[in-house]
Amino acid sequence: MLGDMIPFRIIGNLYFVGTYGASSHMIDTGKGLILIDAGYEETADVVIESLETLGYDVKDVKYILISHGHDDHSDGVPKLVARSGAKVFMHEADNRYLKGFLPDVYLKDGDTVRLGNTEILCLHTPGHTAGVMSFFFNVTDGESTYRAGMFGGAGVNQLKKAYLDKKGMLPLSWRADYLASLERLRGERVEVFVGNHSWNNRTREKFEQMQADPTVNPFINRDEWGIFLDKCEAKLENMIETESRETFVNYAHRGASEYMPENTFLSFYNGIAMGANGIETDVRRTADGKLILFHDSTLERVTDGQGRVDEHTYAELMSLNVEKNGFYDKIVTLEEFLQRFAFRELTFAIELKGAGVEEETAELLRKYGMEKKTFVTSFNLEYIRKFKEYAPEFRVGYLTKEIDGELLSELRALGVDELCPKASEITPEKVRAWHRAGFNVRAWGVDSEETMRRVYDSGANGMTVNFPDKLTEYIKNAVGGRE
Ligand SMILES: [Zn+2]
């Protein structure tokens, strides 16, 4: 894509000097040039040549403002700085992406960058990355002055869970940041919408229109900014909705526990055979410190033993049978479970039962490489907080009956990515609101097929279910049909 756009004057002292895939803009301030975004390393030469084509010299670039740290905006910096000695401005939160340089000036929300005739207002508008900066400035064309604006990071595909996982388990709450940034940007008046990518503001089409009819400047458009921000919001919601459908997790709850002795291999394997693409299980500690998979604090309901689980040694517990519907199996340790299932393409919900299992659970999950396929959950926020301390790279979920705004803020502060409400609480409106607040939504307490269908139809990301076969069947018939 080298040199696939002709450099040109957009309006007044504002010029396009980038490529189709990586926009760069130049402002001639009268006392030196400001460059907004540097493009890829491979396209930095295009920027230099574009400046020359327009009669400028890269040596006159004084400032380079970077909208965010992704490679298509920042990788060209070292080459451009080597030729110009320009100062680089960027938000510190995006340092993690940078190759071969660090900014000279860290931009903060509300900063103004001044050079010559130009003042650029810099707003921190995170979401696409944590450090996205948006830029606003006046351009003067003849007698008229216009307000130009750029949203520094509009893409929503980078907010897909799979992408965030790949880039270092980045928080799903960035989606909420993105929406808050859109709200903020709506408050800015923009008459010349400057594209952070050329497809944002149709840079190329407008250039062609200007050539066909030089009397009209299509870049002057007072509606385009608001329309674009609305589109961004719709795209994010659509992405979240599609993701929840395409990656929906049918968690066999303690295995196929409607039919088989819960939390045993018999139950887990049956769950998988019934089409579950996830397994939910519970971790607690024996009297002699082993981590086993067992739900209740006492033995009576599902085994032929009696008393508290944590008052029995592992050997004692192994002598017991776990029973359901005439099927019998043995209690399983967390490590045995991981040996059998960690390699599988499943999503795991590991619930912490009882205090003091956090650190060892973290170590075991890490040992078996479970980071990208696990949500560690609990009804107890303290366990979650402790687990997250030991294993910040894991995603965690909070199981709860009641959810309000205050809880959501608290969860967000703890780095909780998944909200696990009781199935009876779920409505499509709430799921949408929780998604917009930056959470995955996974239901528990699915007590009937009717509830199961309601949760699936609500747009949630998953549910734990004792009868995964019925959910598998429902999803198969609902494919393409989920409203
Ligand atoms: Zn980007």
Centre of ligand 1 from the C-alpha of residue 70, in Å: 5
- DSSP states of 188-202: S--SEEPPSSTTTTT
Centre of ligand 1 from the C-alpha of residue 442, in Å: 29
Closest by alpha carbon to 157, among 246, 240, 39? 240
Q: Strand pairing of 249-253 and 192-193? A: unpaired
Q: Is 330 exposed, middle or buried (0-12, 13-18, 19+ CB in 10 A)?
A: middle
Centre of ligand 1 from the C-alpha of residue 332, in Å: 45
Centre of ligand 1 from the C-alpha of residue 274, in Å: 40
Beta strands in 142-204 (DSSP E): 144-150, 192-193
Measured CA to CA, the distance from residue 272 to residue 346 in angstroms comes to 9
Centre of ligand 1 from the C-alpha of residue 265, in Å: 44
Centre of ligand 1 from the C-alpha of residue 128, in Å: 6
Single-letter residue type at 169 = M
> What's residue 1's pLDDT?
53
Token pair 């700085």 is found at 81
Centre of ligand 1 from the C-alpha of residue 73, in Å: 7
Neighbours of 418 (CB within 10 A): 22
- DSSP states of 127-174: SSSTT-EEEEEEEEETTEEEEEEE-S---SGGGSHHHHHHTTS--TTH
Centre of ligand 1 from the C-alpha of residue 153, in Å: 6
Residue 140: CB partners within 8 Å, gap ≥ 6? 12, 13, 117, 146
Centre of ligand 1 from the C-alpha of residue 157, in Å: 9
Centre of ligand 1 from the C-alpha of residue 234, in Å: 18
Task: Tell me the residue length of the chain.
Answer: 483
Q: Strand pairing of 133-141 and 144-150? A: antiparallel
Q: For residues 269-296, b (16+ Cβ closer than 10 Å) or e, as one string?
A: bbbbebbbbbbbbbbbbbeeebbbbbbb
Centre of ligand 1 from the C-alpha of residue 68, in Å: 7
Centre of ligand 1 from the C-alpha of residue 386, in Å: 33
Centre of ligand 1 from the C-alpha of residue 74, in Å: 10
Centre of ligand 1 from the C-alpha of residue 436, in Å: 20
Q: For residues 216-253, b (16+ Cβ closer than 10 Å) or e, as one string?
A: ebbbbeeebbeebbeebbeebbebbeebbbeebbbbbb
Centre of ligand 1 from the C-alpha of residue 240, in Å: 18
Centre of ligand 1 from the C-alpha of residue 250, in Å: 32
Centre of ligand 1 from the C-alpha of residue 158, in Å: 7
Centre of ligand 1 from the C-alpha of residue 84, in Å: 24
Closest by alpha carbon to 372, among 163, 147, 107, 68? 163
Single-letter residue type at 463 = M
Centre of ligand 1 from the C-alpha of residue 71, in Å: 7
Neighbours of 323 (CB within 10 A): 16
Single-letter residue type at 318 = M
Residue 164: CB partners within 8 Å, gap ≥ 6? 158, 170, 171, 172, 174
* 319-357 confidence digits (pLDDT tens): 999 999 999 999 999 999 999 999 999 999 999 998 899
Centre of ligand 1 from the C-alpha of residue 342, in Å: 33
Q: Is 3 exposed, middle or buried (0-12, 13-18, 19+ CB in 10 A)?
A: middle
Centre of ligand 1 from the C-alpha of residue 478, in Å: 35
Centre of ligand 1 from the C-alpha of residue 325, in Å: 54
DSSP single-letter state for residue 308: B
Q: Residue-wise pLDDT tens for the chain (483 aa)?
A: 567 999 999 999 999 999 999 999 999 999 999 999 999 999 999 999 999 999 999 999 999 999 999 999 999 999 999 999 999 999 999 999 999 999 999 999 999 999 999 999 999 999 999 999 999 999 999 899 999 999 999 999 999 999 999 999 999 999 999 999 999 999 999 999 999 999 999 999 999 999 999 999 999 999 999 999 999 999 999 999 999 999 999 999 999 999 999 999 999 999 999 999 999 999 999 999 999 999 999 999 999 999 999 999 999 999 999 999 999 999 999 999 999 999 999 999 999 998 899 999 999 999 999 999 999 999 999 999 999 999 999 999 999 999 998 999 999 999 999 999 999 999 999 999 999 999 999 999 999 999 999 999 999 999 999 999 999 999 998 865 554
Token pair 């609902």 is found at 478
Measured CA to CA, the distance from residue 361 to residue 341 in angstroms comes to 15
Kindly state the tokens that stand for 384.
Answer: 């979650």
- Give the chain's radius of gyration (CA, Å): 27
Kindly state the tokens that stand for 183.
Answer: 């709200």
Q: Is 165 exposed, middle or buried (0-12, 13-18, 19+ CB in 10 A)?
A: middle
Centre of ligand 1 from the C-alpha of residue 66, in Å: 11
Domains of the chain: 8-243 (3.60.15.10), 248-478 (3.20.20.190)
Centre of ligand 1 from the C-alpha of residue 155, in Å: 7
Centre of ligand 1 from the C-alpha of residue 129, in Å: 7
Centre of ligand 1 from the C-alpha of residue 12, in Å: 27
Q: How far is CA 415 from the centre of its chain?
A: 12
Neighbours of 349 (CB within 10 A): 25
Ramachandran area for residue 182 (φ above 0: left; ψ -120 to 50: alpha; else beta)? alpha
* 251-306 confidence digits (pLDDT tens): 999 999 999 999 999 999 999 999 999 999 999 999 999 999 999 999 999 999 99
C-alpha dihedral (169, 173, 179, 184), degrees to nearest 10:
-100
Centre of ligand 1 from the C-alpha of residue 72, in Å: 7
Centre of ligand 1 from the C-alpha of residue 47, in Å: 18
Centre of ligand 1 from the C-alpha of residue 120, in Å: 21
